[in-house]
Structure 1
Amino acid sequence: MAEAERPAGKEYTTISEVSGPLMVVEGVEGAKYGEVVEVETPTGEVRRGQVLEARRDAAVVQVFEGTSGLDTTSTKVRFTGETLRIPVSTDLLGRILNGRGEPIDGGPEIVPEDELDIHGAPINPAARKYPSDFIQTGISAIDGMNTLVRGQKLPIFSGSGLPHNELAAQIARQATVPGEEEEFAVVFAAMGITHEEAAFFRREFEETGALDRAVLILNLADDPSMERIITPRIALTVAEYLAFENDMHVLVILTDMTNYCFAPGTRVITASGDVVEIDEIVERAAETAVDGGLREGSTEVTVGVTNVRTLAAWDGDLTSNDVVAVEKIEAPSRAVRVRTRSGAELVVSEDHKFLVDTEDGPRMVEASELKSGDELYSVRELRVSEKVPTYLELLLEAEDKFYVHPTEEFEEAVAERYGSLAEACREKELPYRAREAKERRYYELSEFARLATAVIESVDEATEYIDYVTAGGRKRVKFSSPRPGKEVMYVAGLIASDGSVDTERGFVMFSNTERELLSAFEEIVTEEFGVDASKTENQNGVTMLRVNSRVLARVFERLADPKTVLKMPRELVAAYLAGYVDGDGHLKDGKIVITTADRERAGDLQLLLKRLGVPSVLRERDGAYDVVVTGHDAAELAEELPLRHPKKAEAAASMSSGRRSSRFDRVSRRFGRLLREVRRKYGVRASDLGSSSTISQIESGERRATRRLALEIVERLEEVVGDVEEVRELRELAEGNYVLDEVVEVETVEYEHEYLYDVTVVPDHTLVVENGIITSNCEALREISAAREEVPGRRGYPGYMYTDLATIYERAGCIRGRKGSITQMPILTMPHDDITHPIPDLTGYITEGQIVLSRDLHRRGIYPPIDVLPSLSRLMDEGIGKGKTREDHPDLSNQLYAAYAEGRDLRDLVAVVGEEALTERDRKFLKFADEFEQRFVKQGRDENRSIEETLDLGWELLAILPERELKRVSDELIEKYHPKYRQKKEEQEE
C-alpha cells in the first residue's frame, strides 16, 4: 500500500512469543482486528503487519515481511489504530502495482480520491441484482459453451504447466460487454508468480494497449508469502471503487489462488545435521498429529509444529525452520527429473519451485520451466547444530548387551549418596551383584547409566567412573576420553574407506599397503581404547589389521557412517575426510577424488565436504562413484585435511601452488549488472577497478566473475566510493554462502511411486535437499493456521478457509441501483491436477461454475485446452438467447455438448475394438469430436471471435452429423441457421 505519514499510536516492546509469521504482543489495550501494526527492529528496519486476533490484554500480529531475525526483547511494535487501506483513484487505470498496492511502473504517485479499507465486505444478498448480461471473451469454448455473465464468479481450474497464464492474459485483453466497451475495465492480480511470468503479463498488457483500461497488481514468488493474502483483497477494493463509485463494469482476474512436492526418498537436511528422507518426515509427523495422522489411502495433511527443524537458505544464509505442515499426496502420472552438474538428482512435481540465478538475482522457477544451463542455488557451507556423541551414547543405541566394570570411586560415590551400593540398587530397582572381589563386579550398560545419574551431572563424567567395558568376553575396552577426538575420527575415515565393520562377529578391520597408515591405525586404537590389533598379510602383499571387539565394532559402525560425522565440529569432519582420502582417495592434476561403490555414500561425502565449505561433483564410472573436488576448492581442502599418507600429503602440499577456478567459483549473474549500475551512479571508471576489458566483459555478461575476482573488484570499489548499500550487496554476492549448480538435464518422467510428499516450513519456506540444493514449499493460509496452533481442517488448511474464500468471491456481483458490476475469474492451479484439493473444491461450492483446462488437450497442441465436458457456467442460461447473444445459442450449445460427449465416448470404444467396428453413424460422431476440438475449442492466442462467429462455427460443425441426429435443436432453428439451409437461402436471395 502507498506510504502515508506514520500515524500516532501506542508502542509496545512486550513481545512474548514468535511463531512462524505471527508474534504475540502482551499488555496491549484496545487492539482491533485488522489494525495496521508497524514493527521496528533494533536495526531500524520497519516491517508492517496487521492484528489477526485481539484478546483482552494481548494481540496476535501477522507480520507481512516475516518474523525472521526479530529480537523479542528489543523490537518495538506500534499499533496505528488504522486498518489496511489503499488509496484509490481512476488514475489507477493503466498502472502496475506490487502486492501491497504500491506503484512499481516508474510512473507518478497516485493522487488518491479516497482511501478504502481493503477488507471490504461481501455484497448484501438483499441488495444483490441477479446477473444476466453477457460478457464476450472472444474465446469460443467459453462464449459458446460456458458463457461468462456480468457479475458472475467463474473460476478457471488448471494444472501445472498448462497455459492458464496465457489464457488469463487473452481474456483480460479481449473481454468486453457488447455495447458498453468504454465502461469496461480489468483488474488483474497475480499472486506468487515468477519474474518471468510478471514480465509476460506486463508485456502482454503494454504491447496490446490493454493496460490503458486495466490495473495490474503483481505479487512475486520471492515477495513475502503473507502478502498473497492481502493482494486479492486489494484488487477487489480497487474493483469496487471503479465499479460502484465510477459505474464501470470490472472483470477481476485472480491468479493463482493455490500452489509443490517431492518423490519419496528425497533427502532433507535438518538443522540438527540429520539427513532424513522426506517421506519419513511426513510419516513421523503423522504419528503425533493432532488430527490423528495420515489415514490409509488418504491425502490428508497434518498440521502442528513437529520436532523436526529443517535447514532453510535464502539470500545466501542458513536458518533453522520449523516444519508446521506435512502432506502425503496421491501421485500424478508424470513428474520432472532434474539433474545438476554436481550430481544432484531430484524427482519433483511439475509445479515445484527451485531457486534459480538470473541477472536480477535469485528467482523461484517451477520445475516444468527449468532448462539445461539454468543455475540452481545450492549451499556452499552447511552449518548445523554440532554434536559429538559419547561412547556410552553410541553403545546404548545398540541392541547388544555391554557390561561396564566401574572404578572403586564409582561405588564409593554411589554409597555416599545412598548409604550403600545395595540400597542404591534397591531404590533404582536394579539387581545387586555381591562378589567376593570388587574387580569382578559389573553392570549392564543401561543399569550403570541409571546408577550414574545419581552421582554425576553430565555423561562425560560417567566415563571417569568406568574402568573398562566388555561384551561378555575377555576383550576389554578402556576409553581414554568420553568422546571421540580427531585421532579416532581419522581412524573412522580409514575404516569407512578401506576397512570393514562386522557387528555380528564383532570385529573391526583395516587393510592397506602403506606402512604409515597401518602404523597410525595400530597406534591410535591402542592408545584410545587399550586394545591391540592382529596382523595378517595376503598373497598380494596387503596387510590386514583386525581388532576383535564387539564393543568397538558397535562404536565404529556409527563413527564410520558419514551421517554421524555430519553433525560433528569442523575439525572432526576434516579428520574423518583425511582418513577417507588416505584410504581410498587420490590427488592428481589439481583434483581430489574420493571413490566409493555406494551412491548414497557418495552423496553423504558431498555433504561432509560442504560442512567444510567445499562443493564437489559426483560422477559414476564402471559401477563406482567418484566425488571430485577441483580448482581453488581442491587446494583449500588439501590445506585443511591432516593427511598422513606420504605421497598424498606431498601431492596436497604442491596443490596449493597451481590453483585454478572451477564452475563453482562463479558468482551470481546479478553481480555484473549491479556493478555497472554502481559505476554509473558513482562515476567510477572501469580502470579504477582493474582491467577495463575484464570489467566490461563482466558487466555485459560475456564473462562470469569468480568469487576471488569479484572480491578484488569490491575491495577496490570500497576504496573509491566507500561503504554504501550497493557495494555491500556486491560483497554479499562475492562472499555469499552459495554456489551455482548448473542444470544439465530436465526430463518429464513417468512417476513410479504411489505418493508425493510435501512439507511446509516457516518462516523461510525453503528447504535444503540432496547435496545442498535450495528449493521451495509453502502455502500462506496453512502457515498461519499452523503458527496459531489451530485445529487443522482438510489437508492442513484452517477450518475457516471456506469463510475466508467466500469473503473474496462474494465481493463480486451486481448491486441494485448501481450501474457498475464486478465479475470474477479466479484461476486455480490444482496440485497434481487434483480437483478435490481443498481450494478448488471449496471454490466450486462458492462460485457459479468452473472452466476446466485439460492436460490431454494441451499435449495434443490444442489451445486453449478447455475441456467443455466438466466445465460449467451455472448462470449461462441467464445471459444468452434472444436479445442477449442470439436466439439459437441455448439449443446450439446443448446439441454441441451432447454430440461432443458421444464422440468422446466412442473415442474410448475405438481404443478397445478399433474404428472398423463402428457404424457409419458412429464414425460421423467420432469425426465431429475431432473437428470440434480442432476448430471450435482450438483458436489462436490472439484470435478474438465475436459471438456470431462462434455460433456460426458451431453450426458448421453440426453439419458433419446427419440432420436427424440434431435432436436438441428445433426444426425452426435448423432451417434458419443450418449451413445447408442458409446456403440455399443465400442463393435464392442472390
Structure 2
Amino acid sequence: MSRSGGIEYTTVRELRGPLAIVAGVSGIGWDEYVRITLASGERRHGVVLDADRDLAVVQVLEGTAGMDPEGVRAAFSGGPLRVPVGTDWLGRVCNGRGEPLDGGPPVFGSRDAEVGGAPINPVRREPPSEPVLTGVGVVDALTTLVRGQKLPVFSVAGLPHLELAAQIAAQATTAGEAFCVVFAGMGLTHADASFVRDALEERSAAGELVLLLNTADDPVIERILTPRIALTVAEHLAFTDGRHVLVVMADMTTYAEALREVSAARGEVPARRAYPGYLYSDLASLYERCGRVRGRPGSVTVVPVLTMPAGDITHPVPDLTGYITEGQIVLSPETHARGVYPPVDALSSLSRLMRKGAGPGRTRDDHLDVAAQLLASLARARQVRDLADLVGRAALSPTDRRYLDFEEAFLRDFADQRDDEPRGLDASLERGWRALLTLPRGQLSMLPAGLLDAHGARESDDHEDADEVGGPGRPEDPDSPEDPDSPEEEASR
C-alpha cells in the first residue's frame, strides 16, 4: 500500500472489456476517481462504477487493452474527478477528459473544481433578461436565446444539426460584453471532429473558445465526463471571471446511450427503452447548471443538440429534455428537402423565455410583434398549402395565393442563409418585414398601424390581388386556365 495520491491496491481479480474488478478495497464510493499504474509504468485513469463489500468495479477510461492483472496498481483518490479551472482553458482543444489535442501543455488553473458540480440553487437564480444573439436569423428573430437559458436543438439523423451547432458556437455574441463559448462534442466521428475544429478555428485563435472533443471510438465513460467537464469550466469562467458563456453540447443522444451502457455494466434495473430510471435526474443535473446567480457576474447558457431516433419526439431523450428545458428548436426534414438552411420548423420551435430577452430596450421595439405575425401568417400559409394540395392553386382565392407567396418568401428570403453567414438581428427583422409585406394589410392584424404605415403596408382589394398574383384567367399564371368559363373556374366560384 501507498499513501501517494491515495491507497494503492494490487489485487485486480478480473479484466472484463473496459472494466477492472479490484478486490480487497474498503471505504470506496461510486464515481471515485482512480489512477491506474501498469507494470510498464504507463498511467491510466478510471472511475468507480460500483462498490460492494471489498470489491470495486472500475471503468478504465483508456480501456484495458495490454493490461496484465498481475502488475496493475490502482490508487483511489478518495473523491470524484477534479479538473483545473480558469482562463487557461480558452483557446485550447482537448479530448473528452480534458487532455490536450492541440499539441500544447496540459491545462493548468488557479484551482481545481469537482466535475460533478451542482445545479444552481433556485433561490439564488437571477431571472434571464438579455439576449444571446447567435447570428442565425430565424433563431434570433423567432426563438430568441436568452442569457442563462437552456434551449435544445431537436434534430433527426441526416439533418445539418452539427453544422448549425458549430455555426452558433462560431457566431454567437452578447452586445459588447465579455463572451466565450465552450463546445462539448460527444460521440463524434473523426470527420465531424475535424469539421468542428475547422469551423471554430477563428474563435479558438481569438481566445474565446474551449473545445472538448470526444470521438465515437473513445471510452464510453469519457463521454459521460465530457459535458460535466465543460460545465465545470464554464461555471468558473462565468461566475468567477465574469464572462457570459455559451455551452454547446452535441450530441446528447450519444451521451444518454453511454449512460445506458454504463448503467447496464453496473447491473442496474433498466427502465423505458433500457435507459436507467434516473435518466431524467441525470439530464437535469446537467441542464440545471446553467443560469445567472444573484450577486455574481456572468451567465451560463446551454444549447444541447440531440438527434431523435427515427424522428420520434416522444423518445425518452427528447421527451425528458423537453420537460427540463425552456423551449426547443426543431429541425424539419421537409424544410431540409426544400433546400433551406437551417431547416428550422418555426411552428414547432419555441423559446419560452423570449419575452424576457427581446423587445423594447433589449432588441428592437417591433421584434415581438413581427415574430408573432410571422408565425401566425406561416400557420395560415401551411393550411392554405394543404388546401392547395387538394384542390389545386387555381381554385384558391387571391388572398390565399398571397399566403403561398408569403411562405415562399419566408423560406427563401427570411429563413435561408449560408452556414458561414453571420446575420444581424436588424437584417433578419427587415427580411421578415419584406416577407410580411407580400400579404395585404388587412391580413397583418397583429402589427400596430404605426408600424404598418412606417413600412408602407397597403391594403388591396380582390381585383388588385388577382392582378398581382396572376389571378384566374391570366396567362401569366401557369396554374390557372386561360378560359374563364372552364370547369376549374366554375369550381373556384
What's the TM-score bracket when you normalise by the shorter of the two chains? 0.7 to 0.9
Contact kept, 8 Å, 1:809 with 1:824, in 2: the verdict is: yes
2:489 match? none
1:966 match? 444
CA 978–209 in structure 1, closer or farther in 2 if over 3 Å, else same: farther
Matched residue of 1:104: which SS?
coil
Contact kept, 8 Å, 2:49 with 2:266, in 1: the verdict is: no
Letter in 1 for 2:43: V
Contact kept, 8 Å, 2:247 with 2:300, in 1: the verdict is: yes
Is 1:176 the equivalent of 2:188?
no
- Could you tell me which of 387, 393, 397 is aligned with 1:909? 387
- Could you tell me which of 97, 102, 107 is aligned with 1:100? 97
Which consecutive residues of structure 1, in runs of 5 or more, have no partner in the other structure?
1-5, 260-777, 982-990
Task: Using the TM superposition, give the Cα deviation of residue 204 of structure 1 relative to its aligned residue in structure 2, in angstroms.
Answer: 1.7
- Could you tell me which of 845, 849, 857 is aligned with 2:335? 857
**Number of aligned pairs?**
457
Alignment of 1:548-627 (within 5 A): none
Contact kept, 8 Å, 1:95 with 1:211, in 2: the verdict is: no
Matched residue of 2:421: which SS?
coil
- Could you tell me which of 91, 113, 116 is aligned with 2:113? 116
CA 30–826 in structure 1, closer or farther in 2 if over 3 Å, else same: same
The 2-side partners of 1:883 and 1:210 are apart by 33
Q: Once the two structures are superposed, what CA deviation does each residue of 1:140-166 show, in whole Å capped at 9, x if it has no partner?
A: 111111010000000111122211122
Task: Using the TM superposition, give the Cα deviation of residue 865 of structure 1 relative to its aligned residue in structure 2, in angstroms.
Answer: 0.8
1:785 match? 263
The 1-side partners of 2:457 and 2:141 are apart by 18
Contact kept, 8 Å, 1:88 with 1:112, in 2: the verdict is: yes
The 1-side partners of 2:39 and 2:272 are apart by 39
Contact kept, 8 Å, 2:440 with 2:457, in 1: the verdict is: no
Letter in 2 for 1:910: A
The 1-side partners of 2:263 and 2:120 are apart by 27
Letter in 2 for 1:122: P
Q: Once the two structures are superposed, what CA deviation does each residue of 1:533-576 show, in whole Å capped at 9, x if it has no partner?
A: xxxxxxxxxxxxxxxxxxxxxxxxxxxxxxxxxxxxxxxxxxxx
CA 211–832 in structure 1, closer or farther in 2 if over 3 Å, else same: farther
The 2-side partners of 1:109 and 1:207 are apart by 22
Alignment of 1:43-62 (within 5 A): 44-62=41-59
2:28 match? 31
- Could you tell me which of 151, 154, 157 is aligned with 2:154? 157
Contact kept, 8 Å, 1:25 with 1:59, in 2: the verdict is: yes
The 2-side partners of 1:904 and 1:17 are apart by 61
Contact kept, 8 Å, 1:251 with 1:824, in 2: the verdict is: yes
Letter in 2 for 1:802: Y
1:802 match? 280
Task: Using the TM superposition, give the Cα deviation of residue 873 of structure 1 relative to its aligned residue in structure 2, in angstroms.
Answer: 0.6
The 1-side partners of 2:261 and 2:66 are apart by 18
Q: Once the two structures are superposed, what CA deviation does each residue of 1:610-661 show, in whole Å capped at 9, x if it has no partner?
A: xxxxxxxxxxxxxxxxxxxxxxxxxxxxxxxxxxxxxxxxxxxxxxxxxxxx
Q: Once the two structures are superposed, what CA deviation does each residue of 1:392-450 show, in whole Å capped at 9, x if it has no partner?
A: xxxxxxxxxxxxxxxxxxxxxxxxxxxxxxxxxxxxxxxxxxxxxxxxxxxxxxxxxxx
Matched residue of 1:81: which SS?
coil
Q: Once the two structures are superposed, what CA deviation does each residue of 1:311-365 show, in whole Å capped at 9, x if it has no partner?
A: xxxxxxxxxxxxxxxxxxxxxxxxxxxxxxxxxxxxxxxxxxxxxxxxxxxxxxx
Is 1:893 the equivalent of 2:401?
no
The 2-side partners of 1:935 and 1:194 are apart by 33
Task: Using the TM superposition, give the Cα deviation of residue 808 of structure 1 relative to its aligned residue in structure 2, in angstroms.
Answer: 0.8
The 2-side partners of 1:85 and 1:935 are apart by 48
Contact kept, 8 Å, 2:146 with 2:353, in 1: the verdict is: yes
CA 897–7 in structure 1, closer or farther in 2 if over 3 Å, else same: farther
TM-score (norm 2): 0.87
- Could you tell me which of 79, 82, 85 is aligned with 1:85? 82
- Could you tell me which of 860, 883, 896 is aligned with 2:361? 883
Select the structure that is richer in strand.
1
- Could you tell me which of 412, 433, 438 is aligned with 1:955? 433
Q: Once the two structures are superposed, what CA deviation does each residue of 1:198-245 show, in whole Å capped at 9, x if it has no partner?
A: 221221222466652111111112211221100111111110110011
Matched residue of 1:197: which SS?
helix
- Could you tell me which of 139, 142, 161 is aligned with 1:142? 139
- Could you tell me which of 307, 326, 332 is aligned with 1:829? 307
The 1-side partners of 2:227 and 2:132 are apart by 22
Matched residue of 1:896: which SS?
helix
2:482 match? none
1:233 match? 228
Alignment of 1:441-840 (within 5 A): 779-840=257-318
Higher Rg of the two aligned structures: 1
Aligned sequence identity (%) = 55
2:350 match? 872
Task: Using the TM superposition, give the Cα deviation of residue 850 of structure 1 relative to its aligned residue in structure 2, in angstroms.
Answer: 0.8
Q: Once the two structures are superposed, what CA deviation does each residue of 1:158-179 show, in whole Å capped at 9, x if it has no partner?
A: 1222111221121112111123
The 2-side partners of 1:13 and 1:944 are apart by 56
Matched residue of 2:28: which SS?
coil
CA 37–978 in structure 1, closer or farther in 2 if over 3 Å, else same: farther
Task: Using the TM superposition, give the Cα deviation of residue 45 of structure 1 relative to its aligned residue in structure 2, in angstroms.
Answer: 4.2
Contact kept, 8 Å, 1:20 with 1:783, in 2: the verdict is: no
Is 1:223 the equivalent of 2:221?
no
The 2-side partners of 1:208 and 1:99 are apart by 19
Which consecutive residues of structure 2, in runs of 5 or more, have no partner in the other structure?
460-493
The 2-side partners of 1:209 and 1:111 are apart by 18
Letter in 1 for 2:416: K
1:405 match? none
Alignment of 1:149-298 (within 5 A): 149-180=146-177, 183-207=178-202, 211-259=206-254
The 2-side partners of 1:844 and 1:20 are apart by 35
Contact kept, 8 Å, 1:148 with 1:873, in 2: the verdict is: yes
The 2-side partners of 1:853 and 1:210 are apart by 30
The 1-side partners of 2:456 and 2:211 are apart by 43
Contact kept, 8 Å, 2:441 with 2:458, in 1: the verdict is: no
The 1-side partners of 2:230 and 2:455 are apart by 42
The 2-side partners of 1:856 and 1:966 are apart by 27
Matched residue of 1:923: which SS?
helix
Moved more, 209-218 or 152-161: 209-218
The 2-side partners of 1:978 and 1:29 are apart by 78
Task: Using the TM superposition, give the Cα deviation of residue 8 of structure 1 relative to its aligned residue in structure 2, in angstroms.
Answer: 3.0
Matched residue of 2:348: which SS?
coil
Task: Using the TM superposition, give the Cα deviation of residue 108 of structure 1 relative to its aligned residue in structure 2, in angstroms.
Answer: 3.8
- Could you tell me which of 407, 423, 443 is aligned with 1:929? 407
Matched residue of 2:200: which SS?
helix
Letter in 2 for 1:12: Y
Letter in 1 for 2:253: T
Letter in 1 for 2:138: A
Matched residue of 2:173: which SS?
coil
Higher relative contact order (CA 8 A, sep 6+): 1
Matched residue of 2:418: which SS?
coil
Letter in 1 for 2:364: R
The 2-side partners of 1:17 and 1:128 are apart by 47
TM-score (norm 1): 0.44
The 1-side partners of 2:214 and 2:11 are apart by 32
The 2-side partners of 1:106 and 1:979 are apart by 58
Contact kept, 8 Å, 1:89 with 1:110, in 2: the verdict is: no
- Alpha-carbon RMSD across the aligned residues, in angstroms, is 2.3
Contact kept, 8 Å, 1:19 with 1:787, in 2: the verdict is: no
Q: Once the two structures are superposed, what CA deviation does each residue of 1:105-157 show, in whole Å capped at 9, x if it has no partner?
A: 12344342111111111111111111111111111111111010000000111
CA 791–250 in structure 1, closer or farther in 2 if over 3 Å, else same: same
Q: Once the two structures are superposed, what CA deviation does each residue of 1:459-479 show, in whole Å capped at 9, x if it has no partner?
A: xxxxxxxxxxxxxxxxxxxxx
The 2-side partners of 1:19 and 1:111 are apart by 34
The 1-side partners of 2:399 and 2:27 are apart by 75
1:759 match? none
CA 68–840 in structure 1, closer or farther in 2 if over 3 Å, else same: farther
